[in-house]
Amino acid sequence: MLDVKWIRENSAEFDAKLKMRGLEPLSPKVLEIDDERRAHLAALQEAQAKRNAASKEIGKAKASGDEAAAQAAIDEVAKIKSFIQSGEDTEREINQRLEALLSTIPNLPHDDVPVGADEDANELVRTVGEVPSFEFEPKEHFEIGESLGLMDFEVAAKMSGSRFVLLSGALARLERALTQFMLDLQTGEHGYTEVSPPMLVKDNALYGTGQLPKFEEDLFKTTTEHYLIPTAEVPLTNIVADCTIEESYLPRRYTAFTPCFRSEAGSAGRDTRGMIRQHQFLKVEMVSITSPEQSEAELERMTGCAEEVLKRLGLSYRVMKLCTGDMGFGARRTYDIEVWLPGQNCYREISSCSVCGDFQARRMNARYRPEGAKHLKFVHTLNGSGLAVGRTLVAVLENYQQADGSVIIPEVLRPYVGGKERIAPLNA
């Protein structure tokens, strides 16, 4: 959510940044409602002041037994009563109209974000590691998994339909190992506090992080009006909803390992094979709550925390700065980390780290008390995957596959799989 006052005072910049996102100017629409609201509020408050003064007089008159004076004042106030009554309704109506508009306006991009319509305009920040070469034709992860007999899409489809997978044996264990490894790294070395959050949330939590009201079709909803979280960003960021935090407590850094649920509405036909795009996947998420001064540096730090997972797994990747057209609704700047997948012969997104400024904080009313300052300010929020576990599993399988169909387990994961070094086909 953007600040109306800011839009009022910087309408040209507001429209220019919307244009960077490929949107039409909205300041006329916003300011029209804002003007209407302020004009109405002034009139309403004047009437309320009059009423309050009269009511006080009535109280005094009654206390002193002067019924005639009391009645006269009551008659006087009765005239403005209907205006106050309808005026309060009007105020609500205008506020709702303004909020309905503001809540669907995306965050404004930073000046350094490249302008573009889609991922082709994303900017390469750095490439890390060599693209591995194979002496055989590398397979895609689902071929590897299925021939190992440990990855089954048909069994999953039988009970759940498309876009689900069932892992078993060493692959299920490998997935668990990845989560443990990631959590240990982010909590033990990067200072994130581990959280085990609710995975069903109410609509206001999703409003706070920006998934609602605009993107409801991407979510799963229960019969109890709960939503399944599409990412742990939702419960982790909402920890500070409606809170006032002392500046000395910032930054807060949270991490959680959770399943994520996405309906993938509108992505029919994309990544239909394999584990890349599922309705349900595991993810280790990082969220930082910072002061405005810290948030820029925190994005670099968080991206580094995600990259470290790939470095230790020995996987090659590149970091992309997303262009305006590819950035999410709440982001001011986003780095995507793309891991090299030999089977697909391309880089695929495995993490996305975003700084949201005060956009989410405003929606969820998360503030802090700046030291020495008089007024409360909104915190800044950041979120990033550290990493998407399913896609990391895919990357390990494709990058560590051997000619005989087996898969070497990266060294850092071996403590988590009982020392096992290789996953071999069952019949081998």
Partner RNA sequence: GGAGAGGUGGCCGAGUGGUUUAAGGCGGCGGUCUUGAAAACCGUUGAGCGUUUGCGCGUUCCGGGGGUUCGAAUCCCUCCCUCUCCGCCA
Q: Measuring CA to CA, which residue among 260, 283, 263 is closest to residue 163? A: 263
Least Å from the CB of residue 148 to RNA: 31
Non-local (6+) Cβ contacts of 197 within 8 A are 229, 232, 235, 236, 239, 256, 258
Give the separation between CA 350 and CA 390, rounded to whole angstroms.
9
Is 196 labeled as catalytic in the residue annotation?
A: no
Q: State the catalytic residue, choosing from 277, 312, 318, 369.
A: 277
Residue 44 in contact with residue 87, Cβ under 8 Å? yes
Give the DSSP letter of residue 387.
E
Is 277 labeled as catalytic in the residue annotation?
A: yes
Least Å from the CB of residue 4 to RNA: 6
Least Å from the CB of residue 60 to RNA: 7
Binding of RNA by 74 (CB under 7 A)? yes
CB-nearer residue toward RNA: 224 or 427:
224
Give the DSSP letter of residue 119.
G
Binding of RNA by 198 (CB under 7 A)? no
Give the separation between CA 270 and CA 291, rounded to whole angstroms.
39
**CA R_g for the chain:** 27
Strand partners of residue 335: 321, 353
Binding of RNA by 97 (CB under 7 A)? no
- Backbone φ and ψ of 144, nearest 5°: -65, -50
Q: Which of 1, 30, 33, 58 binds RNA (CB under 7 A)?
A: 58
DSSP labels for 16-76?
HHHHHTT----HHHHHHHHHHHHHHHHHHHHHHHHHHHHHHHHHHHHHTT-HHHHHHHHHH
Is 349 labeled as catalytic in the residue annotation?
A: yes
Binding of RNA by 63 (CB under 7 A)? yes
Binding of RNA by 1 (CB under 7 A)? no
CB-nearer residue toward RNA: 360 or 406:
360
Subset of residues 365 to 424 that bind RNA, contact rule: CB under 7 A = 367, 374-376
Is 301 labeled as catalytic in the residue annotation?
A: no
Q: State the catalytic residue, choosing from 253, 262, 332, 333.
A: 262
Is 391 labeled as catalytic in the residue annotation?
A: yes
Binding of RNA by 45 (CB under 7 A)? yes
Binding of RNA by 12 (CB under 7 A)? no
CB-nearer residue toward RNA: 98 or 182:
98
Least Å from the CB of residue 51 to RNA: 5
Least Å from the CB of residue 2 to RNA: 12
CB-nearer residue toward RNA: 33 or 394:
33
Binding of RNA by 171 (CB under 7 A)? no
Give the separation between CA 147 and CA 141, rounded to whole angstroms.
10
Binding of RNA by 100 (CB under 7 A)? no
Non-local (6+) Cβ contacts of 322 within 8 A are 113, 119, 122, 331, 333, 334, 335, 336
Binding of RNA by 62 (CB under 7 A)? yes
Binding of RNA by 9 (CB under 7 A)? no
Give the DSSP letter of residue 267.
-
Q: State the catalytic residue, choosing from 363, 391, 398, 406.
A: 391
Q: Kindly give the residue spans of alpha helices, DSSP state H, lying in 278-419.
A: 295-313, 359-364, 389-399
Q: Which of 31, 41, 183, 412 binds RNA (CB under 7 A)?
A: 41
Least Å from the CB of residue 41 to RNA: 5
Q: State the catalytic residue, choosing from 288, 352, 385, 406.
A: 352
Give the separation between CA 359 and CA 210, rounded to whole angstroms.
9
Subset of residues 308 to 367 that bind RNA, contact rule: CB under 7 A = 367
Q: Site for RNA (CB under 7 A): how many residues?
A: 34
Strand partners of residue 380: 290
Q: Which residues are part of the catalytic machinery?
A: 262, 277, 349, 352, 391
Please report, as ranges, the residues that interact with RNA according to CB under 7 A: 4-5, 38, 41-42, 45-46, 48-49, 51-56, 58-60, 62-63, 73-74, 77-78, 81, 84-85, 88-89, 92, 367, 374-376
